[in-house]
Amino acid sequence: MKTYIDCIPCFISHSLNVAKMTGRNSEEQREILRQTLAMAASLDFEKSPPAMAKKIHAIIRQITGVDDAYVKIKDESTAFALEMLPFLRHEVEKSEHPFETAIRLVIAGNIIDFGTDHNFNLNSVHQIIADSLKQQIDINAIERLHRRVMESDRILYIADNCGEIVFDRLLIEQYRGKITLAVRGNPILNDATRREAEMSGMNEFVDIIDTGDSIPGVILENCSDEFKDHFANSDLIISKGQGNFETLHETDRPVFFLFMTKCQVIASLLNSEMGSLNVIEKNPGQPKSRQTIH
């Protein structure tokens, strides 16, 4: 996905908010904003918004020395979601359509995103969960996803945010023998790295790899060989979150994107509403033959 003009205010606003979170003084905050504005002025609109986010956070780390601006928020989100996990499991167990309910809840977890909304309140999650169970969703796409999961031997599950990754357990635990979980290679926004995946208990039942990159999405040319191998050779890819959709929606691999619409640019692109639950299938044909990455 390319960057749109309407993305620019979000870049500036995000830079300002993180500068206030991490800058030790007003001069550091001003310098972060100056460099972000200079970068925006020469922005390559053919690049995706997550690529810009990576550059902004490189500036912030260089100026402040803070490697993980969101670490406190990430840990709070993880603890909050783990407390909710028994309730979420109960919702799936009592449902007449457990796979559909699991998908609805997995997507609802995508709302735990302090990267797109610095004013997000974890207490709002309860209502969002309740809404997700009755919201409009593409039932046919869910049925196709269920069929593909059952047919596939090797599934790559690309995670997104902290807290949200706990919700992902509702799906991953059921098919643990065939799923490999991928997280970010290094801290970026409130996205999950290996550290937070382990805090969420994922390492107890699924293999974890990382992208080798610090971007809130996936740009294959910057990823590790291990990730590229799984991406090329999995029978099915399940991609969580809007950032992964923005960077991977043109892939030729068989993939299902699961995310909630959280910005107007994406809403316009998909002709959907803010807060809608998306189950988007790409390349439904047979998986490619197994490949070796050199």
| Strand partners of residue 191 | 161
Query: Does 17 lie in the same domain as 142?
Result: no
287 lies in some domain: no
Check whether 294 has a pLDDT greater than 60: no
291 lies in some domain: no
Domain boundary pick from 64, 87, 103: 64
Check whether 135 has a pLDDT greater than 90: yes
Q: Which helix (H) or strand (E) holds 41?
A: helix 26-41
Q: What is the mean pLDDT of residues 13-27?
A: 85
Q: 237 near 158, Cβ under 8 Å?
A: yes
Distance CA 241, CA 94 (A): 26
Which pTM was predicted?
A: 0.92
> Residue 109 is part of which domain span?
71-282
Domain boundary pick from 23, 45, 64: 64
Distance CA 273, CA 251 (A): 24
Query: Does 77 lie in the same domain as 59?
Result: no
Query: Does 36 lie in the same domain as 164?
Result: no
Distance CA 124, CA 143 (A): 29
Domain boundary pick from 17, 34, 64: 64
Which residues are within 8 A (CB) of 88 and not within 5 positions of it... i.e. 6 or more apart? Answer: 105, 129, 167, 170
Query: Does 55 lie in the same domain as 135?
Result: no
Query: Does 91 lie in the same domain as 42?
Result: no
Distance CA 222, CA 17 (A): 27
What integer pLDDT is reported at residue 1 of this predicted model? 86
**What is the CA angle 219-221-227, rounded to 5?**
80
Query: Does 103 lie in the same domain as 54?
Result: no
Check whether 23 has a pLDDT greater than 70: no
Q: Could you give the number of structural domains in the chain? A: 2
CB 2: neighbour CB atoms within 10 A? 11
Between the CA of residue 40 and those of 53, 55, 258, what are the distances in Å?
Answer: 11, 10, 29
Check whether 286 has a pLDDT greater than 80: no
Between the CA of residue 116 and those of 168, 243, 271, what are the distances in Å?
Answer: 20, 10, 20
Check whether 291 has a pLDDT greater than 50: no
| 3-class secondary structure, 99 | helix
- Per residue in 84-110, pLDDT tens? 999 999 999 999 999 999 999 999 988
Q: What is the biggest distance separating any 2 CA atoms in the chain, rounded to whole angstroms?
A: 57
Q: What is the mean pLDDT of residues 115-135?
A: 78
Distance CA 248, CA 217 (A): 8
Average pLDDT, the chain: 91
- Per residue in 228-244, pLDDT tens? 999 999 999 999 999 99
Percent of the chain having pLDDT more than 90?
78
Query: Does 153 lie in the same domain as 129?
Result: yes
Straight-line distance from the first to the last Cα atom of the chain, in angstroms, rounded to the nearest whole number? 27
Query: Does 161 lie in the same domain as 19?
Result: no
Distance CA 257, CA 280 (A): 5
- Per residue in 176-227, pLDDT tens? 999 999 999 999 999 999 999 999 999 999 999 999 999 999 999 999 999 9
CATH for 138? 3.40.50.10880
Check whether 290 has a pLDDT greater than 50: no
| Strand partners of residue 278 | 259
Between the CA of residue 237 and those of 13, 22, 48, 149, 249, what are the distances in Å?
Answer: 32, 35, 20, 10, 12
What integer pLDDT is reported at residue 293 of this predicted model? 42
Query: Does 128 lie in the same domain as 80?
Result: yes
Query: Does 146 lie in the same domain as 102?
Result: yes
Distance CA 178, CA 176 (A): 6
1 lies in some domain: no
Query: Does 196 lie in the same domain as 153?
Result: yes
Query: Does 223 lie in the same domain as 110?
Result: yes
Distance CA 59, CA 36 (A): 8
